[in-house]
Structure 1
């Protein structure tokens, strides 16, 4: 049986794991993981985004690289900080689902499985379905008991 404390730990772990995964990808495209990583720099990431979004016009493909990076950073910060967790989890699930679908169309069904994009999307939607956010205060730090 999972206790409330265990459930809260698992939820925080899931939030941090999803955010860390996305931030790692962002770090890679800015060269922070070195040249031997998936992309190693922004130019390689833009080229890869062009391959994944080959069904889009070129300008939209380039825009997708910037939009994905912006949303990965924003949603990761929201997940880690606990700000609008449900909204961040839904946004993350949708973002990863769009990425998985685009990868499937352009690169084949195996590609999103190799990068666990389906799992990331499902995990984000599972997080969104959680009822309780353990980092939100359950009761106020102080109570004012004013009598009228």
Structure 2
């Protein structure tokens, strides 16, 4: 039972972190707790942590990252292809962490716990037992 609770906690924590960050980009969090607060600020931040990407591509990169976070967040929330989704989430957050590290310094990756979240997602990908997941309804044993 402990591993089931750990798995659901990891799924919810990672999923809701993705979805919360997306909500922030669209101004859905109050200003006093918001990191970006609006789409333009997020696109500007995307440019800061990706200085090697041409400015014309930055809006598309911000849109793609946001779309991926929405899909991964929803998939983790409902438990669809959990192991694969968790692994992809781990890689995405590792890319975020490395981008932050190489552009603004390693402290930002630690302050925003992106390395920790990446490790948690990789750990989640190793938990095979199904619990409260759409996968358990699809996969017949």
- What secondary structure does 2:30 align onto? coil
CA distance in 2, matches of 1:87, 1:122: 14
Aligned to 2:27: 31
Structure 2 residue corresponding to 1:67, chosen from 42, 45, 64:
64
Higher-Rg member (1/2):
1
Q: More helix per residue: 1 or 2? A: 2
CA distance in 1, matches of 2:8, 2:62: 28
Q: Structure 1 residue 6 and structure 2 residue 5: aligned?
A: no
- Structure 1: give runs of 5+ residues left out of the alignment: 141-148
- What secondary structure does 1:59 align onto? coil
CA distance in 2, matches of 1:17, 1:93: 13
TM-score of the superposed pair, with normalisation by structure 1: 0.86
Q: CA RMSD in A?
A: 1.4
Q: What is the total number of aligned residue pairs between the two structures?
A: 135
Q: Structure 1 residue 102 and structure 2 residue 99: aligned?
A: yes
TM-score of the superposed pair, with normalisation by structure 2: 0.90
The structure, 1 or 2, with the larger RCO (C-alpha pairs under 8 Å, 6+ apart) is: 2
